[in-house]
Amino acid sequence: MKNENNRRIKNKMSVLRAISPDLSRIRLVDQDCLSKRAAQIREALLQGLERPFKHLIDISLGDAHRGGLQPITFVRQVISACLYPSLLDSGRLPTDVKSRARNLLKQCEGESVGSYTATCGLPKIQHSLSEFISRRDRGVPSSPENIFITSGSQQLVLRLFVHGKGSLQTGIMTPVPSSPLFNMALSSLGGAVVPYHLCEEEGWTLRLDEMRRALATARRHCNPMGLYVINPGNPVGQVQSQKSIEDVIRFAAEEKLFLLADEVYQDSVHDPTAEFVSYKRVLHEMGPPYSNTVELASFNSASKGFMGECGLRGGYVEFVNLDSAVMGHIYTLFSTEACTAVMGQIALDIMANPPRSGDASYTAFFENRRNTLNNNAKRVQETLNSLDGMSCQPIRGGIYAFPQLHLPARAVAKAEEAGVAPDLLYCMLLLEEMGLCVGPGSEHLQRKDTHHLRYITHLPDEPIVQPRANSY
Amino acid sequence: MKNENNRRIKNKMSVLRAISPDLSRIRLVDQDCLSKRAAQIREALLQGLERPFKHLIDISLGDAHRGGLQPITFVRQVISACLYPSLLDSGRLPTDVKSRARNLLKQCEGESVGSYTATCGLPKIQHSLSEFISRRDRGVPSSPENIFITSGSQQLVLRLFVHGKGSLQTGIMTPVPSSPLFNMALSSLGGAVVPYHLCEEEGWTLRLDEMRRALATARRHCNPMGLYVINPGNPVGQVQSQKSIEDVIRFAAEEKLFLLADEVYQDSVHDPTAEFVSYKRVLHEMGPPYSNTVELASFNSASKGFMGECGLRGGYVEFVNLDSAVMGHIYTLFSTEACTAVMGQIALDIMANPPRSGDASYTAFFENRRNTLNNNAKRVQETLNSLDGMSCQPIRGGIYAFPQLHLPARAVAKAEEAGVAPDLLYCMLLLEEMGLCVGPGSEHLQRKDTHHLRYITHLPDEPIVQPRANSY
């Protein structure tokens, strides 16, 4: 009996070779290889190994604290006091920190941030967010029950309606340059990426003719159901005008597309002539039939913007014009996961309700906040445009620079020989020779035969390392 | 043109009515309705409305802090100091808290817990966890690279291999009584729940004959690929013997099933004659061909056990015997989501590396810990068995009691008339009349014509509210 068992088992192939076919189609972003190599180099530097540089600078990710941005004191004080309420009895913390922490703890079950919250987050914070949205949108109404607090909400929303195979496969129109994580998530769920190109020459604008072309092409092989927009742009830093948003909304209405608006950079607009206007506000101001029919999900986060608290994992999505039956399904879907981290929820509460004039922390908070918003975008743009072999469209908003690299034909040929995207090879050399880690444009599905770099600009005022395009 | 547009748009049906068919099949657990009602009652009590009780006691969820358990001071101090490093300069915190926090901050990019960590968590914490596992398993080796730190890891692992339709639909064998969230997650991903019944009369044991029956039945309509076990049990509190685990491993090997071992209650064994032994250790001790072929994922969490830190969202999964190509796919899949909350990762680090003898916090930590482990299980069991209409199997481990309710035929008929599961109706009455919120057995897929209650026992020593089975 034992021998028979052993034979049976030895013949066994891995059960898990049969992984989901949707998964076997996705591949890791190049960034991941760069980050791993950067970690090795950092470790080597720590161990005193010789390199052509003393420090490694990693500005490849949308992660402000990694790049050196300091956290906002008020945020950290409130969360610490919630975690360790003995701090409330000390004289160390400002009075408004203490009252905020006490109020938040009252909202938590057992007065502990260690308890689960409701599926969509603490009701009081949903409420704060709806008031924040309404103020932001000049009075457009917002209901707490349409706000779902969670990290990873984009992937959950995709799970709601991505399904089907072949010509019935759900397609989502996504911008090029794209968000690689969004595209990976969509592919891993079995959806089709339907790329539409932003027009670099016009400052990375959305063009309706290109969106119509992309949609018509996609309809031949899948079922496009959604339109994903990122405003202010990631990684390209455009800020859509009200007119541009109206055009997109009309297009979504005519083509029956669910609008997914990634608005996580809403408080990062640097160009004084530009303004962030939310899709929700424009939709409301357009009036019927748009305002009461176009379905919209708008995403925001404590990871970006002035807080940059990526590690706390706090984000939310607001739904507009969704059928109540669909809202029920969304609630059920979100219920399959436990609530998001309570610390991230608290960060969102502070984002929605910063200290007010007269509060003990008011001055320090806005001093902190101004420092984080006073970023390098303009200086980066000017510097990049002054370099040979680089050009950069105006960076109006967001947290990235995305300059075009005009590589010599020789460099492109060398990369192709090595089987590596030319801008990835450039990034690898920049990392090895200068200790500077930036991301390659290739992972954003850039237009054929163009090459770009991506890096975060949202950092404290420090000297910019100047990459040279001809360093091959 | 405008009129034409309006007509087109008015004719539009909701895009999102076409939600994923996998989703439309799942339904909310009953617990959700009870929790919502409990929240309403709590609010009414706060507003001074009259009820037959003064306080609401919610012990329905596996959420120890909600039930009144106090957090462990050392955990909270370390995390607070990481969040707000100014605390490190004060005299308030013990020296070992400070050194732990300083070491952890050095691991974080930009020395901020606001930075993203690597996809699988901070490497130093993966390393701590692997050492912890190896100590727990009496020296069985564990590799950091097989440990993925994340909340919601069960759902991610399911996404790895759940696919297919009809007879190719992936099935997972799951125990009855089950974990409702696991079953919901599996259904929402399009997988088939393949129920196998635990034997209540024998103290909720796993029986091979029942597992073989369940598998043979399932193979007629789907493709069973996985076997989900929960040890110590949720919600039934059994603790598997080494022999029982060996039987399950042999069964999984023979039937080519991927083993998913939910071991989040591993430090909650109350019966002095029982011992937690991990699936990984048993697998190792069985030797080849089992030890080098059977594929295993073992789950653990900071939400359960002595910490009960549900709100911090820290968990991990360790993979054993997975093909390197499959591990690559897992890494890619986990990369589609950002890292888990850094606070939850730190809680895991403390779970893996508690203060040592001689450390400033050693005595207080183990005092705290003993209080949380010194729970009510035995007293609950004895009390329940002394009541008319209730019987309760030995609660050997875990954090729940799951007594059987012997309801009068009249009560069952009344519930059926109302279209409600009899034990759900009982829970609703208990909530309305006594202010006690417990969960109904019906959401755990209990055996036909049996009725149960589920509630957390893992609470401080306080008087137990005694439900009456005949209160209809």
Which member of B39, B113, B160 has the closest CB to residue A311? B113
Contacts of A372 in chain B (CB under 8 A): none
Same domain, B281 and B396: no
Contacts of B22 in chain A (CB under 8 A): 163
Task: Please indicate whether, in this complex, the C-beta atoms of A332 and B15 are within 8 angstroms of each other.
Answer: no
Separation between Cα atoms, residue A146 and residue A160, nearest integer Å: 15
Q: How far is CA A220 from the centre of its chain?
A: 30
Q: Is A226 on the interface with B (CB under 8 A)?
A: yes
Position B32 scores a pLDDT of 75
Contacts of B252 in chain A (CB under 8 A): none
Segments forming the whole domain that contains residue B333:
123-352
Domain assignment of residue B204, yes or no: yes
3-state secondary structure of A225: strand
Query: pLDDT, tens digit, for every residue of A107-148?
Result: 999 899 999 998 899 999 999 999 999 999 999 999 999 999
Domain count, chain A: 2
A319 residue type, one letter: F
Position B436 scores a pLDDT of 92
Q: Is A39 on the interface with B (CB under 8 A)?
A: yes
Domain assignment of residue A252, yes or no: yes
Position A297 scores a pLDDT of 97
**What distance in Å separates residue A141's CA from the closest CA in chain B?**
21
Return the higher-pLDDT residue of A1 and B317. B317
Helix (H) or strand (E) holding A404: strand A404-405
Same domain, A386 and A346: no
Same domain, A254 and A395: no
Same domain, A169 and A285: yes
Domain assignment of residue A227, yes or no: yes
Domain assignment of residue B254, yes or no: yes
Q: Is A185 on the interface with B (CB under 8 A)?
A: yes
Contacts of B154 in chain A (CB under 8 A): none
The rounded percent of chain A whose pLDDT value lies above 90 is: 67
The interface residues of chain A toward chain B in range 259-288, judged by CB-CB distance below 8 A, are none
Task: Please indicate whether, in this complex, the C-beta atoms of B20 and A342 are within 8 angstroms of each other.
Answer: no
Helix (H) or strand (E) holding A327: helix A324-335
Rg of chain B over CA atoms, in angstroms? 24
B128 residue type, one letter: S
Separation between Cα atoms, residue A332 and residue A57, nearest integer Å: 43
Domain assignment of residue B182, yes or no: yes
Same domain, A204 and A266: yes
On the question of pLDDT at A464 being above 70, the answer is no
3-state secondary structure of B269: strand
The interface residues of chain A toward chain B in range 320-339, judged by CB-CB distance below 8 A, are 322-323, 325-326, 329, 331-333, 335-339
Mean pLDDT of A18-37: 75
Query: Which residue in chain A has the smallest CA separation from B288?
Result: A6
Same domain, B286 and B217: yes
- Output the domain CATH number for residue B229: 3.40.640.10
pTM of this structure: 0.92
Helix (H) or strand (E) holding B170: strand B170-176
Query: Which residue in chain A has the smallest CA separation from B314?
Result: A341
On the question of pLDDT at B152 being above 90, the answer is no
The rounded percent of chain A whose pLDDT value lies above 70 is: 91
Domain assignment of residue B248, yes or no: yes
Task: Tell me the pLDDT of chain A averaged across its residues.
Answer: 89
Looking at mean pLDDT, say which of A20-34, A223-237, A412-426 comes out highest: A223-237
Domain assignment of residue B114, yes or no: no
Task: Tell me the pLDDT of chain B averaged across its residues.
Answer: 89
Which member of B12, B92, B344 has the closest CB to residue A90? B92
Same domain, A234 and A274: yes
Separation between Cα atoms, residue A309 and residue A324, nearest integer Å: 33
Query: Which tokens go with B282?
Result: 């048993």
Q: How confident is the model at residue B58 (pLDDT cuts 50, 70, 90)?
A: confident
3-state secondary structure of A72: coil
Query: Which tokens go with A134?
Result: 């309404």
On the question of pLDDT at B49 being above 70, the answer is yes
Q: How confident is the model at residue A396 (pLDDT cuts 50, 70, 90)?
A: very high
Task: Please indicate whether, in this complex, the C-beta atoms of A115 and B63 are within 8 angstroms of each other.
Answer: yes
Contacts of A155 in chain B (CB under 8 A): 336-337
Same domain, B323 and B385: no
Q: How confident is the model at residue A470 (pLDDT cuts 50, 70, 90)?
A: very low
Separation between Cα atoms, residue A438 and residue A57, nearest integer Å: 9
Q: Is B12 on the interface with A (CB under 8 A)?
A: yes
**Residue where a domain stops, chosen among A317, A352, A387:** A352
Query: Which tokens go with B141?
Result: 């080796």
Query: pLDDT, tens digit, for every residue of A285-317?
Result: 999 999 999 999 999 999 988 889 999 999 999
Domain assignment of residue A44, yes or no: yes
Same domain, A189 and A334: yes
Query: pLDDT, tens digit, for every residue of B231-259?
Result: 999 999 999 999 999 999 999 999 999 99
Task: Indicate the burial class of A462 (C-beta count within 10 angstroms; 0-12, 13-18, 19 or more).
Answer: exposed
Position B375 scores a pLDDT of 59
Q: A64-91: buried (b, 16+ CB within 10 Å) or exposed (e) per residue?
A: bbbbebbbbbbbbbbbbbbbbbebbeee
Q: How confident is the model at residue A1 (pLDDT cuts 50, 70, 90)?
A: very low
The interface residues of chain A toward chain B in range 56-115, judged by CB-CB distance below 8 A, are 58, 61, 63-69, 71, 73, 76-77, 79-81, 83-84, 87, 90, 92, 108-110, 112-115
Query: pLDDT, tens digit, for every residue of A170-187?
Result: 999 999 999 898 999 999
Q: What is the ipTM of this complex?
A: 0.91
Same domain, A334 and A391: no
Q: Phi and psi dihedrals of A15, rounded to 5?
A: -55, -40
**Residue where a domain stops, chosen among A299, A319, A352:** A352
Query: Which tokens go with A342?
Result: 């309570």
Mean pLDDT of B363-377: 76
Same domain, B240 and B191: yes
Mean pLDDT of A55-80: 89
Q: Is B222 on the interface with A (CB under 8 A)?
A: no
- Output the domain CATH number for residue B403: 3.90.1150.10
Position A376 scores a pLDDT of 75
Task: Please indicate whether, in this complex, the C-beta atoms of B159 and A77 are within 8 angstroms of each other.
Answer: no
Same domain, A175 and A257: yes
